[in-house]
Chains A and B, each alone.
Chain A
Amino acid sequence: MSSAPARLRPARATRRGGAEAQARRRDGAWPWLFVLPLLIGIATFYLWPILQTFYFSFTEWGVFGGTTWTGIDNYARLVVDPKLYQSIGNTLLYTAIVLLGIPIAVVLATLLNTPGLRFAAVYRVLFFLPYIAMPTAVAMVWRIIFNGDFGVLNWVLSLVGIDGPYWTSTPGVALVAVAIVGLWSSLGFAIIVLGAGLKAIPPEYYEAAELDGASAWRRFTSITVPLLTPSIFFVTVVTTISSFQLFDLLYAILGSSNPIVPKSMSLVYFFYREGFTLGDKGYAAAIAMVILAIIGMATLVQFRLQRKWVVND
């Protein structure tokens, strides 16, 4: 089996051309039969909505339906809306805290990949559970952990003499609480992706370093981290994009009727509130466009910065 591809390659190259010509002749309407069901759905539920939302962002919605073209009014209103800046700030704070999990994940993934480590599979499952758990269901227990009066967190803090805050009803603090849960739930994903990156590092590098008497710490900083930078970059981009779309955890931990919501919203919560709680869909469409622009910019910036710190040997 292993020698077959080498033997077949020249013959295959010529045959492939023949097959393609044959495919062109024979396929006829078949490919359309294969792709049309999907294309119709994608066009209806994704492509058309993207164009329509762009259009909606220039309209105002009447109470009884119908839209009026208002030009850039929504955007003009958005630029001076303090809620926009507040929700951008909240989203950035959340993202920054969740990104702190990546260095932690690098260390944990390295430890988890120690050759011959027992129970590695058990640890992997434990770290991964939060990532796959339904956000609204785990939010219920975190609400109680964060409870100001009888929460476990404040009880632990009281043991060391700290008087904990009312986590989910204090502006500013609430977002930190949600970010702690965000970090807890995203750590497993980072560990798995980084683990795949670690497996790709040739063991000879470590063997050589060990023979040269390099300490474990030295091996970690001089071999593991630099060679892992492509994976670290990848996890950073994916985590940033998903953090910018914070909604589920925030909504489920704070609730919709919490009076601090207007001060503690993420961008997506702001979008949801304007569009579906307050019913201002034109304004929400403009917010959606801002979210699109911000995520696009953040990704672009990260790819620019990549050249400065990612090691591509």
Chain B
Amino acid sequence: MTDVAIRRRRGGRRGSHVLAHVVLGVGGVLMAFPFVWQILMSLSTNAEVQSVTPHFWPSELHWENYAVVFERLPFVSQLRTSVLITVIRTLAQILLCTLAGYAFARMRFFGRGYILGIVLSILMVPSQVYLISQYQIVQGLGWLNTLIGIVAPGLFSAFGTFLMYTAFQNLPDELEEAARLDGASPLRVFWNVMLPLVRPSINVLAILTALWSWNELLWPLVVTTYQENMPLSAGLATLVGDKNNTSYPVIMGASVMALAPILILFIALQRKVIDGLAFSGMK
């Protein structure tokens, strides 16, 4: 490369960096503004939130708004429900989807291809199609307004099975064969040899399941009727239009607390989350 070309290129790069920082900076601020504004409002008074000329910085920080959240809302029980749904579903999917994914990818059994095809065909069906019938089943089992009722359908996942199926399929044969020749049982081969090798895909599955479970609205809204039994996602939605809860700072405080766990988890694991979600696009 000639000196001129190098100089032109460097100059060009520096120029485009300024432009990139301006555009990305403005965009980034617009993206982050609602979150920052929400935190600021959660520390304001109701009058400040409703002032016609926005009062961006609260004149005094009203931390007590957060305490009021716990008085006005069954916040603790909703938080517990959200945490339990998320943890139970994530653990169940890791277990069930890795087991099934492994068998589909690496074992032979009658009808394997057809069964896998049927399971994967669910991926093309929008969730509304099974919602009514799932409601009937959960109602029939007497699980309406219970944790098990909210959790149940999400314990099983065609997407998770597909994810783990592809992960196991990409592994080499040698290790598995060696373990088998040593006389290890299939369960042992699966647990001690193969499972550790698909760790990255398990991370993706865990992150996505946690994210979707935490944020999910429609199903919890359908199976729960009392605020105490709802997860945070549905609990917050019921605050809209509730005439007894017009304190905006308190609603903002509750929202901030509902957002915080998943946002903190994301910022801590951002590389993995971003890669995982890019991969989830394949579904």
Residue B80 CB within 8 A of the other chain: no
B266 touches A129 (CB 8 A): yes
Q: Is B153 an interface residue (CB 8 A)?
A: yes
Contact across chains for A150 and B180 when beta carbons are under 8 A apart:
no
Interface readout for B251-283 with A: 1 if CB under 8 Å, 0 if not? Answer: 110011011001100110010011001100100
CA distance A5 to B63 in the complex (A): 62
| Contact across chains for B96 and A41 when beta carbons are under 8 A apart | yes
- Known A117-B17, A124-B274: A30·B267 in contact at CB below 8 Å: no
A275 close to B277 (CB less than 8 A): no
The smallest C-beta distance from B278 to any residue of chain A, in angstroms, reads 5
Given known A26-B180, A38-B99, A108-B24, contact A155–B130 (CB-CB < 8 A): no
Within 8 A of A (CB), among B90-120: 96-97, 99-100, 102-104, 106-109, 112, 115, 118-119
Interface size range of chain A in the complex: 35 or more
A71-79, A285-293, A301-309 - interface stretch? A285-293
User: Mostly helix, strand, loop or mixed at chain B's interface?
Assistant: helix
Decide yes or no whether B158 CB sits under 8 A from chain A: yes
Tell me the bound Cα distance from A24 to B112 in angstroms.
12
Among B106, B129, B190, the most chain A Cβ lie within 10 Å of the Cβ of B129
Q: Which residue of B lies closest to A138 (CB)?
A: B34
A96 within 8 A of B: no
A46 to B139 Cα, complex, angstroms = 16
Q: Is the CB of B37 within 8 A of A134?
A: no
Q: Are B119 and A39 in contact (CB under 8 A)?
A: yes
Closest to A184 in B: B31
A120 to B191, CA, bound (A): 39
Closest beta carbon of chain B to A256's beta carbon, Å: 7
Interface residue? B196 (CB, 8 A): no
B118 touches A50 (CB 8 A): no
Interface residues on B, range: 35 or more
Q: Residue A268 contacts which of B49, B128, B256 (CB distance < 8 angstroms)? A: B128
Question: Secondary structure of the A side of the interface?
Answer: helix
Looking at A83-91, A139-147, A221-229, the stretch in contact with chain B turns out to be A139-147
A49 within 8 A of B: yes
A231 to chain B: closest residue by CB = B281
A contact residues around B256 at 8 Å (CB): 137
Which residues on A sit within 8 Å (CB–CB) of B136? 52
Q: Is the CB of A27 within 8 A of B218?
A: no
Name the residue on A nearest B181 (C-beta).
Answer: A22
Residues of A within 8 A of B277 (CB): 131-132, 189, 192
Chain B residue at smallest Cβ distance from A24: B108
Question: Is A136 a contact of B233 with CB atoms below 8 Å?
Answer: yes
Asked if A133 and B129 sit within 8 Å, CB to CB, the answer is: no
Residue in chain A with minimal CB distance to B12:
A216
Interface residues of B in 124-143 (CB under 8 A from A): 124-137
B-chain residues with CB within 8 Å of residue A268 when the two chains form the complex: 128, 218
Give A1-37 interface residues, CB cut-off 8 Å to B: 8, 12, 15-16, 19-20, 22-24, 26-27, 30-35, 37
Q: Could you list 5 A-B pairs, sorted by A, with CB under 8 Å?
A: A111-B19, A114-B20, A125-B266, A150-B51, A251-B221
Which 8 A/B pairs are nearest by Cβ-Cβ distance? A41-B156, A49-B133, A49-B130, A34-B103, A255-B240, A126-B28, A31-B109, A38-B100
